Amino acid sequence: MASTADLGPLARLWGISASRLPSPTASADELAPFLVSILEEALPFLDSAAPRAAATSDATTKAPLWKPKGVKSSPDSAAPVEVSERVVGAGELETVVARALLEDATRKKTQARLGNEVWACRRSAHEDAEKKGTASWAEFVRCFRDEHAAAEDGFTPAVVATCEALSWDCGAVGPVEIAEEGEEEEQEGASKRSGRRWGRFTLKVVEMRHKVGRPVLKDRTFPVLQLTATVMSGSGAEAKEFVVVSIPIPDFGKNEASRLAGEKGSQIAVYASVERIRRLEQGHQGQSGKAGEIEWLMATASDAGGVLPSWVQNMAMPGIIWKDVPLFLRWIDGERRKKDVAKDGPLGRDAAAGTRCKSAGGSAPAATATAASAPKEGPDDTDVTSKIAAAFDSPGEAEAANTDALTGTADLK
């Protein structure tokens, strides 16, 4: 079970500096240690929220670091969504900084963010089928492993611009074995943590712009380093489990490849997230979901910056995060009536070249069609704190109001 000892310095709100990104021409041998360091941090954190091999149905035993925040439902999802929250305290983060022996310059930058990190998590288990209220394994793979940004742009009302600014060639990075909780084997009479093999890596920088309460607040631009990795079988085939890890790059706007964060007047915000999607196996215990169903687990922490109070953001997040599930399932139900999403992708087979803002042939990435039509920034955030605080008579009203303002999803209540 993950604890302070398992927390790492990468998937944190202070993120990673653009200067610490791998070289664009990094070899497989150079990329592999970096990819492994991200996985070694993300996997135990995910397991702390929903253990892969839970031996009990007691939620407090399964995930003692996470506080249950209720179970949500929507007509657009046949499966309920479990919501929980974990606070990573400032003291824990100080330990992470000290243990990682970060450089002095980086440490000074992180000090301002060494308050508590509030993580919200959601978990749901879905029938593996291409029908209303759920989705197939192939659809999950295409939309969340292979074309995450394009799919998120499609189903999330708050997204107003996307850009895949950089990518690395990870094709030559072979499968690597990583020891994990719940994977144990008996050796010479003793139980020893064993590992699973991870491969099919991708690594890219994605910029996304979200509206967060127009017209009062400016849109926020989130630049992240995004890794995907898939469990590999002994034969080298892909198993039905993958993870997506997003790490903020607060200063990416200074990089010449930036197309959104580098725009004049952009309000930079940060989020870190870890996501695991897998097909549950026979004998799965301890959590809702049956063998053959698809478990969708995601945890995130964020800071929208500006003068939007952190207490407002943290209060609203559990009410926001679960809505991704019905939003995606509603969207894909509509899309599959027009095309084969698993085969043709979120944008369709005939999507124009360059519409995803990807680098091609070493040239600078072109702005996406979405980015090109993005609205102008809203008015200044000056004195908005008092306006927000004055609007709420109770925590319940604050959560409800901000959930709708930050996501534009009032109809999912």
Tell me the per-residue pLDDT of 325-369, one tens digit each, with 9 for 90 and over.
Answer: 999 999 999 999 999 999 999 988 765 444 556 332 333 443 332
How far apart are the two ends of the chain, measured CA to CA in Å? 34
Q: Is residue 202 part of a domain?
A: yes
Q: Give per-residue pLDDT as tens, 128-182.
A: 999 999 999 999 999 999 999 999 999 999 999 999 999 999 999 999 999 876 5
Check whether 224 has a pLDDT greater than 50: yes
In a domain, 20, yes or no: yes
Task: List the structure tokens of 47.
Answer: 């397991």
Instruction: Calculate mean pLDDT across residues 71-76.
Output: 98
The reported pLDDT for the residue numbered 356 is 58
Asked if residue 168 lies in contact with residue 218, where contact means CB atoms within 8 angstroms, the answer is no
Q: Could you tell me the sign of the dihedral formed by the alpha carbons of 154, 159, 165, 167, in that order? A: negative
pLDDT for the residue 368: 33
Burial degree of 411 (CB within 10 A; 0-12, 13-18, 19+): exposed
Q: What is the mean pLDDT of residues 373-400?
A: 38
Q: Which helix (H) or strand (E) holds 109?
A: helix 104-111
Note the pLDDT of residue 108: 47
* Domain-located, residue 323: no
Q: For residue 235, is it within any domain?
A: yes
CB atoms within 10 A of CB 63: 24
User: Token pair for residue 383?
Assistant: 């004195």
Evaluate if residue 51 carries a pLDDT over 50: yes
Sign of CA dihedral 2, 145, 154, 251: positive
How far is 261 from 249, CA to CA, in rounded Å?
10
pLDDT at 213: 80
pLDDT attached to residue 115: 83
In the chain, how many domains are there? 1
**Residue 351: its pLDDT value, please?**
58
The confidence score (pLDDT) of residue 191 equals: 43
pLDDT score of 56: 36
What confidence tens digit (pLDDT) does each residue in 248-263 have? 999 999 999 999 999 9
Q: Give the pLDDT of residue 64.
A: 86
367 to 13, 153, 154, 162, 265: CA distances (angstroms): 26, 14, 16, 8, 17
Output the CA angle 103-15-361, nearest 5 degrees: 105
Interval 360-381 mean pLDDT: 35
Q: Examine residue 328 and state whether it is found in any structural domain, yes or no.
A: no
Secondary element (H or E) of residue 70: strand 67-74
Domain of residue 29, residue span: 7-67+78-153+161-303+355-383
Q: Which has the minimum average pLDDT: 196-205, 209-218, 276-285?
A: 276-285
Q: Report yes or no on 334 lying in a domain.
A: no
CA torsion angle 78 154 17 204 (round to 10):
90
pLDDT tens digits along 283-338: 554 456 688 999 999 999 999 988 878 888 899 999 999 999 999 999 999 999 99
SS3 of residue 411 by DSSP: helix
Q: What percent of the chain has pLDDT over 70?
A: 72
**What average pLDDT does the structure give for the chain?**
81
Instruction: Give the phi and the psi of residue 122 in degrees, each rounded to 5.
Output: -130, 150
Q: Answer yes or no: is 321 within a domain.
A: no
In a domain, 56, yes or no: yes
